[in-house]
């Protein structure tokens, strides 16, 4: 099939590349000519495992094209995916002006029928808005069909999530569009759920909000565990063995970050509000998420007392492993709180330091974990990179001034750390320091 994907951010780039790898001819469009130039040279503008070789392979095979010429792409393809950004406005609503602009361009350009697919995360009823725009600016009287096909990929495993999805949701109002999209995805042999457009739109916000709720729930349990001496890891394991609950997304820590969960939870609260529902549950999910950062810093202060001029080593800055994404990373809030108390931060992250430089000021970026830990009074793990699990902690402990270890992701083996002589503190799991 011939496909256009408008927007080469995470979602558009991964979707376009994977569609090409499935054998389709794909035009990925962006207004950023620098980015398009880079992509045409086979270089990936984001850190995403497995994506760059896939781009290279499909560009070489002449199935994947990067262009700024949206009109040409529209004219050469029947299915057009809108994957442009929907960033939050200052009031928390999603800014849909990029989506509207693309819809308008499609309407003004197309001379033959098109299927227009929303791939970006959008509020319910955006499909209706897109259909209205397509009708309004339609000089050639073209028939447009609007489909909602939300994306569920995670950064760090985006290619796999796209090619081996749990489910594909296709919200279409016409049989023709349903059939076309069904055919497009059929090579993936995944479960496809066909719905109406509005239900598909809500599925995306409801799924992300539910996952965020699961994280805040286990974080609340972690706090109870901290205050009672129970071990949240065992509690989560016991809960997760119930098939109705499931074990995923029950890892407590310093709270969720990234561009999707914070933005989507806020947007869903606003959407609900506009429809007359006060989503108190999600407001509390946000509260708990913010509180996790403060609880973590409080733990540090309880052990180190005054932080002024104390050297603190931070391992991990990205909002999660396998990405260089710093958007809404918990590390930003935590480092700020520590700096406000006068702490000196020495940080290391395997890939996110370049991006972190524009988000976090006044810290020392180190070339490796050992350099960051030297003479530190405390070591904080804020992202659970595999690299950190394989560090020589004996060597690290020997180079530190005092041996406090705060594991914000519960990713280290607490017993081993204690046996090495660390004073270990997890989230909801104290590692039995007092035994």
Using CB under 6 A as the criterion, which residues of the chain lie in contact with ligand UDX when the complex forms?
A: 151-155, 208, 211, 215, 249-251, 253, 256-258, 260-261, 319-320
Query: Which of 382, 128, 120 lies closest to 263 in space, CA to CA?
Result: 120
375 sits in the region (left: phi over 0; alpha: psi -120 to 50; else beta) called: left
Provide, rounded to whole angstroms, the least separation between the CB of residue 403 and ligand UDX: 26
For residues 152 and 161, give the distance between their C-alpha atoms in angstroms, rounded to a whole number: 7
C-beta closer to ligand UDX: residue 344 or 355:
355
Provide, rounded to whole angstroms, the least separation between the CB of residue 388 and ligand UDX: 14
Of 28, 225, 260, 366, the catalytic one is 260
Provide, rounded to whole angstroms, the least separation between the CB of residue 211 and ligand UDX: 6
Provide, rounded to whole angstroms, the least separation between the CB of residue 258 and ligand UDX: 3
C-beta closer to ligand UDX: residue 10 or 144:
10
Place of tokens 């993936």: 188
What ranges in 230-328 are assigned the alpha helix state H?
232-240, 261-274, 280-304
347 sits in the region (left: phi over 0; alpha: psi -120 to 50; else beta) called: beta
Phi–psi pair at 67, nearest 5 degrees: -150, 155
Place of tokens 């991990």: 316
Q: What Å distances lie between residue 171 and 39, 315, 349, CA to CA?
A: 31, 42, 40
For residues 259 and 151, give the distance between their C-alpha atoms in angstroms, rounded to a whole number: 14
Provide, rounded to whole angstroms, the least separation between the CB of residue 324 and ligand UDX: 12
Count Cβ atoms within 10 A of the Cβ of residue 145 and give its class: 0-12 exposed, 13-18 middle, 19 or more buried: buried
Provide, rounded to whole angstroms, the least separation between the CB of residue 94 and ligand UDX: 14
Provide, rounded to whole angstroms, the least separation between the CB of residue 384 and ligand UDX: 8
C-beta closer to ligand UDX: residue 328 or 424:
328
C-beta closer to ligand UDX: residue 233 or 320:
320
C-beta closer to ligand UDX: residue 66 or 256:
256
C-beta closer to ligand UDX: residue 27 or 47:
47
CB 8 within 8 A of CB 28: yes
Report the Cα 133 to chain-centroid distance in Å: 30
DSSP 3-state helix, strand, coil percentages of the chain (rounded to 5)?
Answer: 45, 15, 40
Q: Which two tokens stand for residue 424?
A: 């270990």
C-beta closer to ligand UDX: residue 119 or 403:
119
| DSSP symbols for 55-100 | HHHHHHTT-EEEES-HHHHHHH-SEEEE----PBPTTS-B--HHHH
Provide, rounded to whole angstroms, the least separation between the CB of residue 391 and ligand UDX: 20
How many beta carbons lie within 10 A of that of residue 425, not counting itself?
Answer: 24
Residue nearest to ligand UDX (CB): 260
C-beta closer to ligand UDX: residue 105 or 208:
208
Report the Cα 148 to chain-centroid distance in Å: 20
Q: Which two tokens stand for residue 393?
A: 């902690």
- Does the annotation mark 260 as catalytic? yes
User: Residues with catalytic annotation?
Assistant: 260
């Amino acid at each position: 099939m011939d496909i256009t994907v408008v927007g080469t951010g995470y979602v558009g780039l991964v979707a376009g590349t994977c569609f090409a790898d499935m054998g389709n001819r794909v035009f990925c469009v962006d207004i950023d000519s620098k980015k398009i130039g880079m992509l045409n040279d086979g270089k990936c503008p984001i850190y995403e495992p497995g994506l760059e070789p896939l781009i290279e392979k499909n560009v070489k095979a002449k199935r994947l094209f990067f262009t700024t010429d949206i009109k040409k792409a529209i004219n050469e393809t029947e299915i057009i995916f809108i994957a442009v950004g929907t960033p939050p406005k200052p009031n928390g609503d999603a800014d849909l002006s990029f989506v509207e602009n693309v819809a308008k361009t499609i309407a003004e350009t197309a001379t033959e029928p098109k299927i227009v697919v929303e791939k970006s995360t959008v509020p319910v009823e955006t499909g209706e808005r897109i259909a209205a725009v397509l009708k309004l600016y339609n000089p050639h009287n073209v028939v447009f069909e609007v489909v909602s096909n939300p994306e569920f990929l995670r950064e760090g495993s985006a290619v796999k999530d796209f090619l081996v999805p749990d489910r594909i949701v296709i919200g279409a109002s016409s049989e023709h569009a349903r059939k076309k999209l069904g055919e497009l995805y059929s090579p993936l042999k995944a479960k496809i759920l066909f719905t109406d457009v509005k239900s598909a739109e809500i599925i995306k916000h409801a799924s992300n909000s539910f996952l965020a709720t699961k994280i805040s729930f286990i974080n609340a349990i972690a706090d109870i565990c901290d205050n009672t001496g129970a071990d949240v890891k065992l509690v989560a394991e016991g809960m997760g063995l119930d098939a109705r609950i499931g074990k995923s997304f029950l890892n407590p820590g310093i709270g969720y970050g990234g561009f999707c969960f914070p933005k989507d939870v806020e947007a869903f609260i606003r959407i609900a509000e506009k429809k007359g529902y006060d989503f108190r549950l999600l407001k509390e999910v946000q509260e708990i998420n913010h509180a996790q950062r403060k609880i973590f810093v409080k733990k540090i202060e309880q052990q180190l007392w005054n932080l002024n001029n104390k050297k603190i080593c931070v391992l991990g800055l990205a909002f999660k492993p396998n990405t260089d994404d710093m958007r809404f990373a918990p590390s930003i809030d935590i480092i700020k709180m520590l700096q406000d108390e006068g702490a000196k931060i020495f940080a290391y992250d395997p890939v996110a330091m370049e991006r972190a430089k524009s988000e976090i000021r006044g810290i020392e970026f180190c070339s490796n974990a050992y350099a960051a830990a030297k003479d530190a009074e405390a070591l904080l793990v804020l992202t659970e990179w595999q690299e950190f699990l394989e560090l020589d902690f004996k060597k690290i402990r020997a180079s530190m001034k005092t041996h406090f270890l705060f594991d914000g992701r519960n990713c280290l083996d607490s017993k081993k750390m204690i046996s090495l002589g660390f004073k270990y503190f997890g989230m909801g799991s104290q590692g039995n320091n007092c035994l």
